[in-house]
Amino acid sequence: MQTSLYTGISGLNANLSALSVIGNNVANINTNGFKSSRVLFEDIMAQTASGGNEIGLGVNMSGTQRIFSQGAFETTASGLDMAISGNGFFTLADSTGTYYTRAGQFRIDKDSFLVNPGDLNVQGYMADAAGVLGNIIGDVQISNSAIAPNPTATVEVSANVDSNAIITGFVFTAGSNEYIAANDGSGFTADLITDGGLTSGTSYSGAEVAIAIKNALEGTNSSGDTYTVAYADQTGLFTITNDTGNSNSITIDWAGASTANTLLGFTADDTIAVAASASSDVAAGTFTVASAADTSNFSVPVTVYDSLGNDHVITVYFRKDSLGGTGNIWDWYAVVDAADSTSGNTELQANGTLTFNTTGALFSDSSVTYPTGGFDFSGGGVQDQTIDFDFGLSTVAGGAGKEGITQYGTDSAVSAIAQDGFTAGSLQRISVDSEGLIRGVFSNGRTRNLAQLILATFQSQEGLTGVGRTLYQETADSGQPLLSNPGSSGKGLIQSSTLELANVDLASEFISMITAQRGFQANSRIITTTDDILAELVNLKR
């Protein structure tokens, strides 16, 4: 008889334990990252009745089992709130040991460490000043240090230059480049401004310059020769023809000129002979910094940075030079304005040549030439700064150009400019991607890797022991933690600005609560019934 009393008591105790577990689940329904538990029961068999019949001694709570199913997600306003979609635990540590959690409510403390509400340090890999991640796991610290400036080393230009552009823009300056020294046997000097009728400092087309050359030659020579001067705006050539067959040939040698007419492509040592009743081509047209807009076809401003992070504007001018054997040839000139130049003068500080093939693709790109030895920017930065200009030439010899600069029969226009320099910047905000990579966004628009979180998985996560505050610690039953990046080795991904809710199913918990209550009531009836029977036995002697 008394055995049934103890059987009933075991039922009462077991169902009370179940109610305690259910109550804990319900109490933590709003605890982020909380994982619900359930009670596991087992029967007690320790008595054999006559005839070999087995009589149980009640029920025993064999243990509890934590359910690690995925909880729902809640979107938050904090970028440091994180949830794990899939397997894994955030790794935390302090002087007392290492802990694991699914609750990703993190913040940055006064020492710039990433911590949870209990001031445990989040673990991960830190990046160096260049953004390269290390391979030693430690406390994640988000420093507010500034990002150092980076001088521009490469400028990439994607644009189109108009294949129909004419070679234009001739600007002559009195006393500088207006002379034509010629010799017809007597020698004479022609002045394109005084004798040719041009105005100093005014931009003229090639056809207008051709008329001026004709006027200057015919108006100043003593033999009375006449000339035909023509200009081809696609090839950039002046053709000078001596029309008088019975006259001496004329030699343009610049010997009598006070200053060589470099604008027409000559130095004082160059000579060209135009025989009687013959003609000769004269290459003409050069870029001049003082008249950059007039002696070019197209320009692109580019902002670059020096070694101190100061920004400077380079204007890249493109000038159609001539029609080559495989396509048109263009020259480009990088000019630095006086305000950005160390010398205080507007200077040509880099230039090169672009050759296009007949499909409009870039065929060849000359090496950059630095007339001043490199870029000399004002502001105290390193002088002779070398900047490579990448116009998208194919790396395959003789191949068609890749995306970059083209020469098609449409208006000249730039489609993209990129350069790799930047000024100094301070940390403005941080972001966390799905792989746990923490990036800093700086005031100069740059981003840099700061750290990467790690996740832990276990051979048996049910073997972890809970220590409160939604924290777990490893045990012999869980096995050692397997640490790696989110998204690798079966681990879940990180969702930023998100928290994982408790996985408590309230409806299921209420049903379990009713079941435990009914079990408790039923076992209490066992005890009262047994008590009644024992009372009847006592009353038999009466």
The pairing of beta strand 154-160 with beta strand 388-390: parallel
What does the alpha-carbon distance between residue 440 and residue 442 come to, in Å, rounded to a whole number?
A: 6
Query: With bands split at pLDDT 50, 70 and 90, how would you rate the model's confidence at 352?
Result: very high
Question: What are the boundaries of each domain within the chain?
Answer: 2-69+503-539, 91-145+449-499, 154-165+297-419, 170-283
Residue 400 has pLDDT above 50, yes or no: no
CB 426 within 8 A of CB 149: no
What is the pLDDT, as a whole number, of residue 231?
A: 84
Question: What average pLDDT does the segment 442-467 reach?
Answer: 95
Residue 267 has pLDDT above 60, yes or no: no
Give exposure, 506-516, as e/b (b: 16+ Cβ within 10 Å): eeebeebbeeb
Q: Which helix (H) or strand (E) holds 2?
A: helix 2-27
Most confident of 146-155, 207-216, 449-458: 449-458
Q: Which residues contact 302 (CB under 8 A, 6 or more apart)?
A: 155, 157, 313, 314, 315, 316, 417, 419
What does the alpha-carbon distance between residue 51 and residue 14 come to, in Å, rounded to a whole number?
A: 30
What is the pLDDT, as a whole number, of residue 295?
A: 80
Query: pTM here?
Result: 0.67
What does the alpha-carbon distance between residue 313 and residue 304 come to, in Å, rounded to a whole number?
A: 6
Q: What is the mean pLDDT of the chain?
A: 87
What is the pLDDT, as a whole number, of residue 70?
A: 96
Least confidently predicted of 28-42, 161-175, 332-346: 161-175
> Which residue did the predictor score with more confidence, 165 or 487?
487
Give exposure, 311-336, as e/b (b: 16+ Cβ within 10 Å): bbebbbbbbbbbbbeebbbbbbbbbb
CATH of domain 154-165+297-419: 2.60.98.20
Question: What average pLDDT does the segment 402-408 reach?
Answer: 82
User: At residue 327, what are phi and psi to the nearest 5 degrees?
Assistant: 155, -175
What is the pLDDT, as a whole number, of residue 396?
A: 36
Q: Which residues contact 523 (CB under 8 A, 6 or more apart)?
A: 8, 9, 10, 11, 12, 15
Give exposure, 78-108, as e/b (b: 16+ Cβ within 10 Å): eebbbbbbebbbbbbeeeeeebbbbbbbbee
Instruction: Give Cα separations from 114 to 81, 107, 117, 132, 136 (angstroms).
Output: 11, 6, 10, 19, 17
Residue 9 has pLDDT above 60, yes or no: yes
What does the alpha-carbon distance between residue 69 and residue 380 come to, in Å, rounded to a whole number?
A: 61
DSSP class of residue 109? Answer: -
What is the pLDDT, as a whole number, of residue 421?
A: 94
Residue 395 has pLDDT above 70, yes or no: no
Question: What average pLDDT does the segment 388-414 reach?
Answer: 73
Q: Which residues contact 234 (CB under 8 A, 6 or more apart)?
A: 166, 167, 323, 328
| pLDDT tens digits for range 275-284 | 665 566 655 5
What is the pLDDT, as a whole number, of residue 404?
A: 86
What is the pLDDT, as a whole number, of residue 25?
A: 97
Question: What average pLDDT does the segment 205-222 reach?
Answer: 86
Is 409 in a helix, a strand, or coil? coil
Query: With bands split at pLDDT 50, 70 and 90, how would you rate the model's confidence at 303?
Result: very high
First to last CA, the chain: 20
CB 317 within 8 A of CB 333: yes
Query: With bands split at pLDDT 50, 70 and 90, how would you rate the model's confidence at 401?
Result: very low
> Which residue did the predictor score with more confidence, 443 or 178?
443
Is 22 in a helix, a strand, or coil? helix
Q: Structure tokens of 272?
A: 């060209």
Instruction: Give Cα separations from 394 to 83, 201, 404, 406, 534 (angstroms).
Output: 46, 40, 9, 12, 103
Which residues in 469-527 belong to E strands, given as ranges? 471-473, 482-484, 493-496, 498-500
Question: What average pLDDT does the segment 234-258 reach?
Answer: 65
What is the pLDDT, as a whole number, of residue 511?
A: 96
What is the pLDDT, as a whole number, of residue 183?
A: 67
Q: Which residues contact 28 (CB under 8 A, 6 or more apart)?
A: 34, 36, 502, 504
What is the pLDDT, as a whole number, of residue 249?
A: 67
Residue 299 has pLDDT above 50, yes or no: yes
Residue 49 has pLDDT above 90, yes or no: no
Q: Which helix (H) or strand (E) holds 417?
A: strand 413-419
What is the pLDDT, as a whole number, of residue 119?
A: 97
Q: Which residues contact 85 (CB under 8 A, 6 or more apart)?
A: 70, 73, 492, 493, 494, 495
Query: What would the 3-class secondary structure string for 421-470 be?
Result: CECCECEEEEEECCCCEEEEEECCCCEEEEEEECEEECCCHHHCEEEECC
Is 160 in a helix, a strand, or coil? strand
DSSP conformation letters of 200-216: TT-EE-HHHHHHHHHHH
Question: What average pLDDT does the segment 310-328 reach?
Answer: 86
Residue 255 has pLDDT above 50, yes or no: no
Instruction: Give Cα separations from 281 to 240, 251, 384 (angstroms).
Output: 6, 13, 39
What does the alpha-carbon distance between residue 159 and residue 449 come to, in Å, rounded to a whole number?
A: 32
What is the pLDDT, as a whole number, of residue 262?
A: 59
